Amino acid sequence: MLEGVGEESFTITDLVRYLTLMVEKDEVLSQLRVQGEISNFKRHARGHLYFTLKDEHTRIRAVMFAGNTRRLRFTPKDGDEVLIRGRVGVYERDGQVQLYVTWMQPRGVGDRYAAFQELKEKLEQEGLFSPLFKKPLPFFPRRVGVITSAHGAAVRDIITTIKRRNPAVNILLLPVPVQGEDSPGAVAKAIQEMNGFDVDVMIVGRGGGSLEELWSFNEEIVVRSIYDSTIPVVSAVGHETDTSLADFVADMRAATPTAAAELVTPRLDDQVSRLSVLKNSLLRAQQRQIDGMKERLAYAVSRPLFRRPRTRLDQEQQRLDYVTADLIRGIRFRLSRQQHELDHHRTRIQAQSPQARLASISDRLNRLNHGCKREIHRRIKEQKDQWHRRVERLDALSPLKVMSRGYSLVYRQNETELVRSVRQIQPGDLIKVRVSDGKLKAQVWGWEEVPDGKSR
């Protein structure tokens, strides 16, 4: 309860707190989107933004704290038409209703973003962004093409960086407008023209700006021109946080124009140092190889056979003669053995007629047949004997066999419960007694318990 409610009056503090509570409970006011024009814009030293959001009829105060301003992709100012997302609250000190903004973008950006996503999905399905079509950048380009505005920091940064890193690289600049209605067509035409020049790699881009200023590099005509280029393309559009469709289709994306110049141009000093290191490594390797060959030559010269090559040659000639003689003897022996086996088989074939061979085979088959029959009969008899032995063992364990020796089983009259103790029966109960050759019906007249389970 608020103080003073029972007296039907509020303090100002109570009233403002009550209004704050009601506003915070409202689901609509806790998360909404509002559009309007910025006025009275102020940036606090701590990074918070204070401004008024208005339309042609009214206005409302707004604040955007520094934690949310880090996600802004543009610089707000008086007169900007914006779309914001946030909540309505009450600043208790002044009793002022105001907007607490968590997100903001210029009006029209939502439509552009939707168009951006739609075109991105279309080109991605066509495969324009696939890594399979990315061309490698040349290791040491002789000539770099640059497509950007002739005026601005981007072209100065690119040229300065390339000349600083490698003065031997030539630069071909095709100046184009990088924003406005004529920009997309001019950029696409410049990319096509650049492919007609003797250029190893090209940089396409511009400096930073708002989404509208960078939009030329999201146009389909520019994206397809980059994809169709036979020369590797490095995209350098805006700052590191800016992303365009040109970045997706390019063979390499650079965060800034300066970074693009560094990507395509290796430092001449670094390459000279690297060549010096490689040269020294090569010289050392050659020297090690020469020293090794000298050692091998000295060792070979020190051996007696090397000093008398004629002796070595004579020995090898004699060894060749021995090997040749052994080979001839081996071939003759093998041929003789094979000839002997051939004569033996020929004699056997000639000595035995087809009728005799058939009779021999038939006799062998008969012997095999009789042997199989004997084995089958033996196996059958063995299985029968084994079966009889198992039947005899089972019969010896049969309850009927036990009963034939004078034992019996006693059941209640229903024959479902076996009587194992005299305590299960009362005098006068009807029972059935199972003996080996039949059943007896009886009535119990009395019973006597045997102490300790001993028979009496």
* Domain at 96, CATH number: 2.40.50.140
For residue 167, being part of any structural domain is answered with: yes
Residue 334 in domain: no
Per-residue model confidence (pLDDT) at position 322: 82
Q: State the Cα–Cα distance between residues 360 and 77, nearest whole angstrom.
A: 117
Q: Are residues 120 and 215 in the same domain?
A: yes
**Considering 88, 107, 126, which residue would you say is the last residue of a domain?**
107
- Whether 126 and 244 map to the same domain: the answer is yes
9 with 75, same domain: the answer is yes
Q: Are residues 255 and 116 in the same domain?
A: yes
Do the domain assignments include residue 160? yes
Helix axes 183-194, 220-228, angle to 10 degrees: 10
Q: Which of 57, 89, 107 is the last residue of a domain?
A: 107
Could you give the CA distance from residue 163 to residue 337 in angstroms, rounded to a whole number?
Answer: 87
Determine the Cα–Cα distance for residues 160 and 176; give it in Å rounded to an integer: 19
Residue 255, domain member (yes or no): yes
Bridge partners for 173 per DSSP: 146
Diameter of the chain measured on Cα atoms: 143
Check whether residue 103 and residue 118 sit in a common domain.
Answer: no
The secondary structure of 372-429 as a DSSP string is HHHHHHHHHHHHHHHHHHHHHHHHHT-HHHHHTTT--EEEETTSSSB--SGGG--TT-
| 93 shares its domain with 153 | no
**Per the structure, how many domains does the chain have?**
4
C-alpha span between 81 and 55 (Å, rounded): 10
- For residue 216, give the DSSP letter: G
Helical (H) or strand (E) element with 287: helix 268-302
> 182 and 99 in one domain?
no
Whether residue 245 sits in one domain with residue 173: yes
Q: Which two tokens stand for residue 239?
A: 């700052």
Q: 147 and 96, same structural domain?
A: no
For residue 455, the SS3 value is coil
Tokens of 174: 């095709």
- 256 and 295 co-located in one domain: no
In what side-by-side order are the strands of the sheet with 201-206? 170-175, 143-148, 201-206, 233-237, 252-253
Residue 401 covered by a domain: no
- Residue 46: what pLDDT? 86
244: domain CATH number? 3.40.50.261
Beta strands 201-206 and 96-106: pairing type?
unpaired
Which one of 41, 72, 107 terminates a domain?
Answer: 107
Closest CA relative to residue 194, chosen from 145, 243, 239? 145
324 in any annotated domain? no
Question: In which domain, by residue range, is 296 found?
Answer: 270-303
Q: Cα–Cα–Cα angle for 375, 379, 383, nearest 5°? A: 170
For residue 386, being part of any structural domain is answered with: no
Query: If we measure between CA atoms, which residue out of 89, 99, 90, 95 comes closest to residue 36?
Result: 99
| Predicted local confidence at residue 426, as pLDDT | 83
Do 135 and 255 lie in one domain? The reply is yes
Which stretches within 166-256 are classed as H helix? Answer: 183-194, 220-228, 245-249
Same domain, 150 and 197: yes
Average pLDDT by stretches of 10, the chain with 456 residues: 56 80 75 87 89 88 88 81 86 83 78 77 90 90 92 89 89 92 93 94 87 85 94 88 87 91 81 75 86 81 63 74 86 88 77 71 86 88 86 73 74 78 82 81 81 52
- Is residue 362 included in any domain, yes or no? no
Q: Which residue has the tokens 């168009």?
A: 115
pLDDT at position 385 = 87
53-60 contacts, C-beta under 8 A, 24 or more apart: 53/82, 53/84, 53/99, 60/97, 60/98, 60/99
> Which pLDDT score, from 0 to 100, does residue 172 have?
94
